[in-house]
Amino acid sequence: MKHITKHRLSFVLIVAVTLSSMVGCVALRPAPDAPQVEQPAAYAQQTSSADTSKLLSWFELYQDTVLLRFVKAALDSNRNLIAAGYRIEESRELAGIVRANLYPAFGYQVQAGGGTAGIEARKIGAGVEGGALRTFGSVQWELDVWGRIRSSNEAALRRFAADIESRNALMVSLVAEVAAQYFLLRDLDNRLAIAMQTKQLRSESTKIIRERFNKGYIAEVDLLQAEQQEALAAAAIPAFERQIIVVQNAIRTLMGQGPGPLPRGKSLFDQMTTPDIPVGLPSQLLTRRPDIREATQLLEGQFYNIQIAKANLYPQLSLTGVLGFASPQLSSLVSSDGRVANGFAGLLGPIFQFGQLRRRVRVEELRTKQLAYSWEQTWLRALGEVDNALAQYRTLQEEYAIRSAQTKAARKALELTRAKYDYGYSSYYEVLIQENYLFDAELAESLTYQLRLNALVQLYRSLGGGWQ
């Protein structure tokens, strides 16, 4: 019996070594590269082609310390970003589980019992004095002849890498959203200040008009028009205050905080708007934008899913070994007669599945096509976002210059019109028109400056956000 057992174990070891060599010789087909797409030589709105590796990070771009503090708080405490971090940890653990299948699994088994069950039980020794005890150590190993386990491991690694890129994309969007909301907040602060200043000036003007009316110098219509103008500016104040609260709470939510006020940093017009932006070439988006890198990892992982489905068409070969002791009496457990050693090789494969396995291969191939087109759509969207951001940044610079000139002209026109009215050379209606022109021009100038700042935010975001 010992001689047979030794030969059986030797045979199992020889088979294991031989098949392990076969596994090493089976080449795992690498995942193809990302789909080939037509890449323009430059963006339609591009004016320079500097290397985007010199692109400043968000923290180097904005010099407003309050904004930087908001960004850091969002990156540290945003709930969606924290959840994304745990998704990465989950993917890492899942990849580790799959990778462990490449190696043998070791286990143990202990059985104890006693009793009698008739003649047959007595023949096999059950129920003898002292009871029976069996203890075994076992090893199981599926030989990855067709690359199924290795393909599963590669697919899990791609999923892990995709989750990392998904978190990077979320970070880029989060920083961009915090910056955009902050610039909107400073714009609303500025428009609120414009409304309050306008209301104060119009209140003073109304007071003067009322005195003139009481003395009979002007008609009542002038007083009514002045009161309307004052009310118009006054009504804008609570409207801007309401919007400020909404934006403040939105920023605090991004930072993982409840509702409340926020500190302020630089004023709207003190924010930097004209940095040298190295746009780079469109082909660099493939390596810069996290969403494109994520789509690439998902597509590569799907190619390995096809390999898994194909490997399931073939039989699975596994080795099982058992080494231990078995004795009808506890006193003789460790004797040489109680030793047990066995080895087995198992082959498990499909025969008739009514096309299920081949359909599974077809399903994975169809999913690959879907991800390939999704990758191309991500690429096209990225190109469009960069070009749109470049156009917005350029045209808003031009628009702001015009708005600024308009405000200066409206302010000067109001001064001259008031002087003419005071000397009786124009009606109060002309003053009202010029007041409205100035109020609208100042609000439009502030809004345009904020949009200009946000165009810069969107440009950085579309270029990958400065994240390497």
Chain position carrying tokens 């209606």: 429
Of 70 and 122, which is predicted with more confidence? 70
440-455 mean pLDDT = 95
pLDDT surpassing 70 at residue 269:
yes
Q: Quote the tokens at residue 434.
A: 């010029």
Name the nearest CA neighbour of 455 among 390, 384, 375: 390
Helix axes 428-462, 148-214, angle to 10 degrees: 170
d(CA 71, CA 61): 12
106 φψ region: left (φ > 0), alpha (ψ -120 to 50), beta (else): beta
pLDDT attached to residue 448: 96
d(CA 28, CA 129): 57
The ranges assigned to domains in the chain are: 1-30+105-143+315-348, 34-102+146-314+359-462
pLDDT surpassing 60 at residue 328:
no
pLDDT surpassing 80 at residue 122:
no
d(CA 292, CA 287): 8
d(CA 213, CA 209): 6
Q: Which of 126-140, 285-299, 328-342 has maximum average pLDDT?
A: 285-299
20-32 mean pLDDT = 49
Give the model confidence (pLDDT) of 231-256 as tens digits. 999 999 999 999 999 999 999 999 99
d(CA 406, CA 398): 13
For the ranges 47-51, 166-170, 376-380, 462-466, which has the lowest average pLDDT? Answer: 47-51
pLDDT attached to residue 37: 57
145 Cα distance to chain centroid: 37
d(CA 436, CA 261): 31
| Count of C-beta atoms within a 10 Å radius of residue 11 | 12
**pLDDT > 90: percent of the chain:** 41
For the ranges 64-73, 106-115, 361-370, 427-436, which has the lowest average pLDDT? Answer: 106-115
pLDDT attached to residue 138: 74
Name the nearest CA neighbour of 225 among 38, 432, 71, 82: 432
Give the model confidence (pLDDT) of 37-91 as tens digits. 555 545 455 444 434 334 346 556 677 889 989 988 998 999 999 999 999 998 8
Of 339 and 92, which is predicted with more confidence? 92
d(CA 138, CA 324): 9
Which amino acid type is present at position 206? T
pLDDT surpassing 80 at residue 289:
yes
pLDDT surpassing 70 at residue 27:
no
263-276 mean pLDDT = 82
To which CATH superfamily is domain 34-102+146-314+359-462 assigned? Answer: Outer membrane efflux proteins (OEP) (1.20.1600.10)
Q: Quote the tokens at residue 309.
A: 């489905």
- Check residue 41 and report its DSSP letter: S
pLDDT attached to residue 144: 76
Query: 0.85 cut: is pTM over it?
Result: no
| Per-position DSSP letters for 48-87, written without gaps between them | ----GGGPPPHHHH---HHHHHHHHHHHHH-HHHHHHHHH
pLDDT attached to residue 101: 78
d(CA 348, CA 140): 14
pLDDT attached to residue 235: 96
**pLDDT > 70: percent of the chain:** 72
pLDDT attached to residue 326: 61
pLDDT surpassing 80 at residue 324:
no
Provide the CB-side half-sphere exposure for 107 (13 A, CA). Answer: 7
In the structure, what pLDDT confidence band is assigned to residue 341 with cuts at 50, 70 and 90?
A: low
d(CA 293, CA 162): 7
pLDDT attached to residue 350: 73
83-102 mean pLDDT = 86
Give the model confidence (pLDDT) of 347-368 as tens digits. 666 777 778 888 999 999 999 9
Q: What is the CATH number of domain 1-30+105-143+315-348?
A: 2.20.200.10
Q: Quote the tokens at residue 461.
A: 């975001």
Name the nearest CA neighbour of 48 among 396, 394, 382: 394
* Mean pLDDT across the chain: 80
Q: Which residues contact 26 (CB under 8 A, 6 or more apart)?
A: 144, 145, 146, 147
Of 63 and 174, which is predicted with more confidence? 174
In the structure, what pLDDT confidence band is assigned to residue 132 with cuts at 50, 70 and 90?
A: low
